[in-house]
């Protein structure tokens, strides 16, 4: 591309070839990264990357209480919401941030949570690659994991990314546990 520009003074053709080469290089690099990701996730199930310690909060909490009692002390950004023994839904930091701070004391968790009936869930035995695809399709950072028709935990996109980075930094492939 550069040789054509200078040798034949074909500026447009040379620039066009450079842009095509640049595009093909980027496409090849993206394909390689996708293959590496797929290979590193092969054989891993949702169960192996599930956070089983996801905090549970009651529906009646107001947002000020949620922030003061759960978010600030733990740094967590996702909570399962229950009433009695049943799962009512899930609330995330993103949902809280949409409510003006002046309304936190009068807004309950139940008012802003995603109801259980609208939650996208994955099964504990589901492969992680399909979980990641579902999270991408839903634009979700957290997704509940069910086992035997019961929510057992949550997969967090940040935790999944951190695990992949750590394994890559150590030169390790994710292998079934």
The DSSP-derived string for 127-155 is BHHHHHHHHHHHT-SEEEEEETTEEEEEE
Higher pLDDT, 12 or 166: 166
Judged against a pLDDT cut of 70, whether residue 1 lies above it is answered with: no
Q: How many beta carbons lie within 10 A of that of residue 133, not counting itself?
A: 11
Model pTM? 0.68
pLDDT(94) > 90: yes
Q: How many CB atoms lie within 10 A of CB 164?
A: 18
The Cα–Cα gap between 165 and 118 comes to: 31
Q: Can you give the pLDDT at residue 24?
A: 74
| pLDDT of 16 above 80 | no
> For 71-88, what is the mean pLDDT?
89
């Amino acid at each position: 591309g550069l040789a054509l520009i200078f040798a034949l003074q074909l500026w447009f053709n040379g620039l066009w070839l450079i842009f095509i080469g640049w595009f093909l290089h980027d496409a090849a690099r993206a394909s390689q990264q996708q293959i590496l990701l797929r290979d590193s996730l092969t054989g891993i199930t949702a169960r192996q990357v599930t956070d089983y310690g996801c905090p549970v909060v009651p529906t009646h909490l107001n947002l000020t209480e949620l922030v003061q009692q759960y978010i600030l002390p733990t740094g967590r950004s996702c909570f399962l919401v229950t009433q009695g023994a049943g799962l009512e839904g899930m609330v995330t930091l993103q949902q809280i941030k949409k409510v003006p701070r002046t309304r936190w004391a009068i807004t309950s968790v139940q008012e802003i949570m995603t109801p259980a009936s609208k939650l996208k869930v994955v099964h504990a035995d589901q492969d992680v690659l399909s979980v990641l695809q579902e999270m991408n399709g839903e634009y979700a950072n957290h997704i509940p994991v069910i086992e035997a028709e019961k929510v057992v935990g949550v997969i967090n996109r940040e935790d999944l990314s951190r695990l992949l980075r750590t394994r890559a930094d150590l030169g390790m492939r994710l292998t079934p546990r």
